[in-house]
Amino acid sequence: MHETESAQTSLSFEFFPPRSPEAVAKLASTCSELTALKPEFFSVTYGAGGSTRDLTLDTVLSVKTQTRVDTAPHLSCVGSSLDDIRATLESYSVAGITRLVALRGDMPSGTTGLGELRFASELVAFIRREYGARFHLEVAAYPEVHPQAAGAQADLDHFKEKVDAGADSAITQYFYNPDAYFRFVDSCSAAGIDIPIIAGIMPVTNYTNLKRFSDMCGAEIPRWMLKRLQDFGDDRESLQAFGIDVTTALCERLMDAPVPGFHFYSMNQSQACIAVCSNLGLAGK
Ligand code: FAD
């Protein structure tokens, strides 16, 4: 048990906008279960080029109203004009939103038109220029290096640009190798970056989805884990129990470091998040 650390390790959970009445109901029950863990905030993802702008805002508002937990929309700039971004920020400001996850985003393959802001650092600078300190800004960080980066040092330099532009804290891409996180945090500190770097945690619950996401975002699944996951086949129960063990062990290593917080990529599901947080002594702090 981590009595001392648990007082300091914040929790947050990420959702995606639900697209059917069943998915809306599922998210409502997930939110109410996760609210019991006293998270610092929830966040809701955003489609590139503003494709889910209204859905993201609607979801943020309904989660916030239902749970009274601070809820942050993600906002990506790729494929959007400055006018679009300004309009989105204005709707968030009018709706009383005070926290944002500011991203570049990814254009769907086959589409063109990068938009007027090319990188997340430019989005952060734009938000600070237009809105001052109105929003608490989270940005993305990549302990295993962003897949399109020229190299680890270049990626770190660009991460620092986001921080210098005014980011308040960062959430990492998920990872299963804690040393990647420790080394990244050390490099940040050597580069003079002193914002909290929250560890992004993807509970392992499904082999096919995990493999697909990880191939897309460049997160490495250790070979031993992949092989074990493959072996479970259709035995979902054993796979999920294994996933909870692996995710708990990862978080325990991180808490010993210690880590400022965990941001769970919940996939709109509560069960694995709750199991891991209970194992860590973080449930119902
Ligand atoms: P940036 O920080 O702009 O970096 C992108 C790449 O450009 C990196 O390789 C970087 O090294 C390079 N770079 C940065 N600045 C420069 C420069 N000046 N010159 C040259 N190269 C540069 N995607 C979504 O579409 N919707 C979401 O809701 C979403 N939520 C996310 C939440 C988290 C916590 C994380 C970690 C990722 C999320 N993503 C989301 C994915 C993210 O949009 C992609 O990883 C995207 O490819 C990069 O976004 P970024 O904000 O990290 O970009």
- Separation of alpha carbons 266 and 153, rounded Å: 30
The reported pTM is 0.96
**pLDDT tens, residue by residue, 123-152:** 999 999 999 999 999 999 999 999 999 999
Ligand 1, pocket-test mutation among 158, 168, 173, most atoms within 8 A of CB: 158
Predicted local confidence at residue 209, as pLDDT: 87
Predicted local confidence at residue 143, as pLDDT: 98
Closest CA to 104 of 163, 166, 49: 49
Asked about 237 being catalytic, the answer comes back as no
Kindly report the average pLDDT of the chain as a whole number.
93
Domain ranges (residues) in the chain: 3-279
**pLDDT tens, residue by residue, 77-130:** 998 999 999 999 999 999 999 999 999 998 766 566 678 999 999 999 999 999
Q: Is the peptide bond before 258 cis (omega within 30 degrees of 0)?
A: yes
Ligand 1 centroid to residue 121 C-alpha, Å: 9
**Would you say the CB of residue 53 lies under 6 angstroms from ligand 1?**
no
**Would you say the CB of residue 127 lies under 6 angstroms from ligand 1?**
no
The DSSP bridge partners found for residue 101 are 74, 138
Predicted local confidence at residue 53, as pLDDT: 82
Q: Which of 53-62, 213-222, 237-246 has the lowest mean pLDDT?
A: 213-222
Ligand 1 centroid to residue 236 C-alpha, Å: 32
Pick the CATH number of 3-279 from 3.30.70.20, 3.30.530.20, 1.20.1630.10, 3.20.20.220: 3.20.20.220
Segment 3-18 shows an average pLDDT of 80
Cβ atoms of 203 and 247 closer than 8 Å? yes
Segment 206-219 shows an average pLDDT of 88
Q: pLDDT at residue 3 above 60?
A: no
Ligand 1 centroid to residue 205 C-alpha, Å: 25
User: What is the full DSSP assignment across the chain?
Assistant: --HHHHTT-EEEEEE----SHHHHHHHHHHHHHHHTT--SEEEE---GGGTTHHHHHHHHHHHHHHH-S-EEEEEE-TT--HHHHHHHHHHHHHTT--EEEEE---PPTT-----S--SHHHHHHHHHHHHTTSSEEEEEE-TT--TT-S-HHHHHHHHHHHHHHT--EEEEPP-S-HHHHHHHHHHHHHTT--S-EEEEE-----HHHHHHHHHHHTPPPPHHHHHHHHHHTT-HHHHHHHHHHHHHHHHHHHHHS--SEEEEE-TT--HHHHHHHHHHT-TT-
